[in-house]
Chain A
Amino acid sequence: MADQASILIIDENHARAAIIQDGLREAGHLNVRWLNETSNLLRHIADIDPDVIIIDLESPNRDVLEQMFQVSRLVKRPVAMFVDQSDSIAMQDAMVAGVSAYVVDGLRKDRIKHILDMCILRFNVFSRLQDELHEAKTALADRKVIDRAKGILMAAKSLSEQEAYVLMRKTAMDQKRRLVEIAHAIVTAEGMLK
């Protein structure tokens, strides 16, 4: 069933905001908007007038939202942070995932819980994707260094590719270091000896 609660996502990370937006839409929350504009934040929020605000914890702008707890001429309806005292674990999950939620008065707790759970899920998906991307990038960079080091050894000691690789691996094992560290050492040394 479609939920017409108006949800505003404040996140400067485009990719993550898109992932969250998709997740919420799939779960039937169709009225979702995204704000990456950080100046005049309260004015934008007042114009959009959302029921729920989802904000990432990396942004210093969370402190700007805190202003809405006080009587403010800028915001039409009272807003509070979603704190379910009976469920501190849910709050911890949200913070570990890197997200926080603010809701206007009167929205039912189970509805906001559903929205927040979806956001936590999607924040975690995004973190995992980012970790995987980081790992893939690192693996690629390692591979490049190892290939260069292999080439240096092959030229310097007239070794075959296989022999150069075995020599590096043996050195790494003997010194209890990672293969890529040995490769870096060779590349650095070559640069200095040039």
Chain B
Amino acid sequence: MKSLRIGFIPLIDAAIPIAAVECGFAEREGLEIALIREASWANIRDKLVHGLFDASHMLAPLAVATSLGIGNAGVALAVPFGLNANGNCITLASRLYRSLEEVLGHPPQGPRQAAQALKRVIDRRKASGEPPISFGVVFPFSVHAIIVRHWLRLGGIDPYNDVQFQVVPPPFMVANLSEGVIEGCCVGEPWNSRAVESGVGSIVVFGAEISRAAPDKVLALRDETVSQDMDAIHRLLRTYRLAAHWCQDPGNHANLAHMLAQPQYLNVAPKTVMNALSGTLAISRTQTRTVTDFLSFEGDDINRPDPRKARWLYAEIATGLRSPLAEIQARAAAAVFRPDIFDAATGNNAVPEAADPIGLKFGPAFDSTDLQAYVDALTLEPNGRAGFGDR
């Protein structure tokens, strides 16, 4: 038996690491896995970097930022497996949501209408000298921060000057919305549903309405581990592939919900987990919506790490910090995502790659060979523009 210590944050997208252990897939591959629950992404990063974990559930942009030394001392990480796409929502505080309804005369339908209505509310507030709207995101380097900015631009809102961002840990998101510290947030489940249930907020956009396959959480290892123990990593990836397939199957969702809900993992009601797995969520007190691809665990597009996605993450991280792009950094980012390890472990060869690795539903086309063009198209248009065109 090979022992591995794997860190995780209690979120639904930790499903694959948890199911790999609970379903016995890991044991069958001769792996004895200790899952260690953590309270913050900073803990996850530090414990991985300093060798207290062998591998970890991690925010995809954090894996890239850590490797590049952005926001901390750089330590090279490797990402051999993607754990999910989507599963997050953008939720607005009830008062702000009502302002959108007033502007439109009805509840906002779809991301574009919601963003355009928000733009009008922001303009109105600016004119009357009210403070800017603040959005809560889960970490400075998160796909959450990236997709909120992308959605804001759809309505012609400048994410750097028209609104503010602040980090709010998911368990505190509802309280911060309720107290007015933030007026909007982007977070995974169950926190959006909690806001809706308690009448604090309404969901305006699902992550799946912004992108098809933006990488959310990944499996990350120290780069040095890759050379030291390739055999164990291969076994782990085979295990995760089985777990991904099991987690994706709707027939297993009731079991998965009970598994994740246990006190040592998410410690919530199974019903709460089930909402996100089924993609049926109450988005306000009166409306419910269903999106079948609300949260995805399986697919070559999701599990096999595509270096072009790492380049996109780098471009978005740099843009978020308002730093110029550097091709050397983009290459270093791409090197973090390791399809070679995935292929060697799973016996994959020549996976047909999607033409567009991110699948953004609006905004400029993403060409991984020309990051500057992508970033320019995001930012060039002057203030007050109409927003992105349709894709």
Chain A residues within CB distance 8 Å of chain B:
38-40, 42, 57-67, 69-71, 81, 83, 85, 88, 91-92, 95-96, 100
Contacts and interface: CB of A to CB of B under 8 A. Distances in A.
Nearest to B138: A63
A92 B52 contact: yes
Contacts of A40: 181
B251 to A, nearest CB: 34
Nearest to A58: B39
A42 B166 contact: yes
Contacts of A63: 40-42, 138-139, 167, 169
Contact of A83 (B39, B72, B167): B72
With most chain A CB atoms within 10 A of its CB, the pick from B42, B50, B138 is B42
A95 B50 contact: yes
A16 B169 CA distance: 22
A71 B320 CA distance: 11
Contacts of A70: 71, 140, 321
A14 B150 CA distance: 42
Interface in B67-112: 71-73
In the A-B complex, the 9 residue pairs with the smallest Cβ-Cβ separation, listed nearest first, are A60-B169, A62-B40, A62-B42, A69-B71, A67-B167, A63-B40, A83-B73, A60-B39, A64-B167
Interface residues of B, number: 29
Contacts of A66: 41-42, 71, 139-140, 167
Contacts of B175: 39
A40 B41 CA distance: 19
Contact of B50 (A58, A67, A92): A92
19 contacts: A39-B175, A39-B176, A39-B179, A42-B166, A57-B43, A59-B40, A60-B171, A62-B39, A63-B169, A64-B169, A66-B42, A66-B139, A81-B42, A81-B73, A83-B73, A85-B73, A91-B50, A95-B47, A100-B46
B273 interface: no
B51 to A, nearest CB: 7
A65 B176 contact: no
B171 A69 contact: no
A85 B49 CA distance: 11
Given A67-B166, A91-B46, 16 more contacts: A38-B172, A39-B179, A40-B181, A57-B43, A58-B39, A60-B171, A61-B40, A62-B43, A63-B169, A66-B167, A67-B167, A71-B321, A88-B51, A95-B43, A95-B52, A100-B46
Contacts of B40: 57, 59-63
Nearest to A83: B73
B205 interface: no
B310 interface: no
A64 B168 contact: yes
Contacts of B73: 81, 83, 85
B178 to A, nearest CB: 11
Contacts of B171: 60
A100 B52 CA distance: 14
Contacts of B169: 60-61, 63-64
A13 to B, nearest CB: 13
Contacts of A91: 46, 50
B146 to A, nearest CB: 15
A69 B46 contact: no
A103 B257 CA distance: 42
Contacts of A88: 50-51
Nearest to A84: B73
B46 A60 contact: no
Interface in B161-190: 166-172, 175-176, 179, 181
Nearest to A65: B42
Interface in B120-166: 138-140, 166
A59 B39 contact: yes
Nearest to A80: B72
A32 B150 CA distance: 43
Contacts of B39: 57-60, 62
Contacts of A60: 39-40, 169-172
B72 A69 contact: yes
A40 B175 CA distance: 12
A65 B168 CA distance: 10
Contacts of B42: 62-63, 65-66, 81, 100
A91 B47 CA distance: 9
A42 B138 CA distance: 15
A27 B159 CA distance: 47
B140 A69 contact: yes
A193 B42 CA distance: 53
With most chain A CB atoms within 10 A of its CB, the pick from B73, B171, B321 is B73
Interface in B312-355: 321
A103 to B, nearest CB: 13
Contacts of B321: 70-71
Contacts of B181: 39-40
Given A57-B39, A58-B39, A70-B321, A92 B51 contact: yes
